[in-house]
Amino acid sequence: MKLKTVQRAAQLTIFLTTMVFVLPAFSQNAEKTTLTLQQAVDIALQKNINVITAQNALESQQRNVTSAYGNFLPTLSANGGWSRQETHQPPSGGGSYTIGGFVIPIPVSSGISTSNSYSAGVRANMTLFDGFSNTSTLNGASDAAVSSEYNVYRTRQTVVYTAQQFYLTVLRNQSLLNVAQDNLESSKRQLERIRESNKVGAVAIADVYRQQVQTANDELALITAQNNYDNAKADLQFYLGIDVSKEYEFKDPSIAVDTVNMDVAALENQFTDFDRLVNQALKTRPDYQSALYAEGSAESGVTGARSGYFPTITASAGYSLNSSELGKLSDNKIYSWGLNFSLPLFSGFQTSTRVQQQQLALRNAEAQVDQARRQVQVDVKKAMLNYQATLKQIDVTQKNMTSASEDRRIAQEKYNLGSGTLLDLLTAVANYTKAASDRVNAVYDYLLAKQQMKYVIGTEKY
């Protein structure tokens, strides 16, 4: 009774699994867009929000550099004006006076008089010395712009590395899906052989039931592998900013996953010199270079704050015209020039406060440089350990794969000859499937470790 229940459960599981894979096939479009790793990286660099934000920040810093250059140039302004003045006074005049017997009338004045004024001019002002405020502002803005530029480089490297991780995860799950499919096909073939052997009385019915259960378990393993693969594709499509509802195929012939003939001993010698790798990373890592230039910008901020203790010297020159009649505007010309000197004696502790604030900002920047240096060291250390570990995993999984394949072959032959049990065969098959999956994981762990090493050193430019 128990065996019949197990048999029915296995048959039901196989039916449901078949429906899971068959029904979606009718709803999917037969044509799929293929994306290589490089195409995925290009899409990520175009659409990733972090890259866009970093690029906008760089453009803002570059505008600040242009503004800082303007502090060295004179300011030039032009002006022009017209005004009309009307004066009201009490009326005057009237009457007459006599000269030599002639009577001369005196006109009556209305008491209202008007006058116009026209003016035009040009004036220039230039700072000759401001306590090095203009030079420190330019240096600080330039360093901040370079720091922002390195930040863009690092952001692009991070986006590329993350896209590579997502892409390789898709390929990993696709390989694991192939392992699960091959294992299921092998289980089905084995089930057919056992059924035929049972019909002629060569094996017991219990072996049929056991193999049916194993086949059902392999069906469930395939469902899990398919789900992991679909989720990995969805994660990659979301990160790339492409439509998740569309079907894409991810293939890249440039990614070599065959490590059978890999010379592990030779690869181990690639990344072994920790000090050399750290020194290289400190020269090439954009985030560390960005921290250095940010420190330089903070130093310029201290110099700029101290400019409040120094005098300011400015020069000015002007040219102006004025007249009461527009047609005679150029008749009256005024030229002016001069120097102005000012020395701050007391600013209500504003200058000293700004200096102290900038000094604190400098200390923070110095701490960020130290932190960035330590981050480089720990990143290189972890990447080296991961790389060495993946090489050992490949070496071990290759040996396990060879051994498990031979054990499965021997167990199959013994079972076919009747000298072995089905349990021994199932154990050998399970060990082989695990070895195949472990090998796939080891290969992709190795590929990710290589990309991680490139990322932590920071030599790649995108």
Burial of 428 (0-12, 13-18, 19+ CB in 10 A): buried
| Farthest-apart Cα atoms in the chain, separation | 168
Residue 2: pLDDT band (50, 70, 90) is very low
Percentage of the chain beyond pLDDT 90 is 61
Q: List, in order, residues 6 or more apart from 388 with CB less than 8 Å away.
A: 268, 271
Quote helix, strand, coil % in the chain, to nearest 5. Answer: 70, 15, 15
Burial of 233 (0-12, 13-18, 19+ CB in 10 A): buried
- Which tens digit of pLDDT belongs to each residue from 129-141? 988 999 999 999 9
Distance between CA atoms of 173 and 266, rounded to whole angstroms?
Answer: 28
Q: Which helix (H) or strand (E) holds 123?
A: strand 112-129
What residues does 322 pair with on adjacent strands?
Answer: 119
pLDDT of residue 239: 92
Rounded (5°) CA angle 66-460-52: 45
Percentage of the chain beyond pLDDT 70 is 87
Residue 110: pLDDT band (50, 70, 90) is low
pLDDT of residue 299: 95
Q: Which helix (H) or strand (E) holds 102?
A: strand 102-105
pLDDT of residue 116: 86
* Average pLDDT score over the chain: 86
Q: Which helix (H) or strand (E) holds 87?
A: strand 75-88
CATH topology of domain 34-79+117-457: Outer membrane efflux proteins (OEP) (1.20.1600)
Distance between CA atoms of 163 and 51, rounded to whole angstroms?
Answer: 13
Residue 24: pLDDT band (50, 70, 90) is very low
Lowest mean pLDDT among 65-74, 104-113, 271-280, 286-295: 104-113
318 pLDDT above the threshold of 90? yes
- Which tens digit of pLDDT belongs to each residue from 435-457? 999 999 999 999 999 999 999 99
- Which tens digit of pLDDT belongs to each residue from 240-255? 988 888 888 998 887 7
pLDDT of residue 220: 96
pLDDT of residue 109: 65
pLDDT of residue 375: 96
Residue 5: pLDDT band (50, 70, 90) is very low
pLDDT of residue 386: 93
Q: List, in order, residues 6 or more apart from 364 with CB less than 8 Å away.
A: 298
4 pLDDT above the threshold of 60? no
18 pLDDT above the threshold of 60? no
Tell which wins on pLDDT, 292 or 104. Answer: 292
pLDDT of residue 226: 96
175 pLDDT above the threshold of 60? yes
114 phi/psi in degrees, rounded to 5: -130, 150
27 pLDDT above the threshold of 60? no
pLDDT of residue 201: 83
Measured from the Cβ of residue 337, the count of other Cβ atoms closer than 10 Å reads 10
- Which tens digit of pLDDT belongs to each residue from 192-228? 988 988 888 888 899 899 999 999 999 999 999 999 9
Work out the end-to-end distance of the chain between its first and last CA atoms, rounded to an integer number of angstroms. Answer: 66
Q: Where are the alpha helices (DSSP H) in 106-132?
A: none
Residue 96: pLDDT band (50, 70, 90) is low
Lowest mean pLDDT among 186-195, 222-231, 361-370: 186-195
- Domain layout of the chain by residue ranges: 34-79+117-457
pLDDT of residue 28: 45
- Which tens digit of pLDDT belongs to each residue from 330-346? 888 999 999 999 998 88
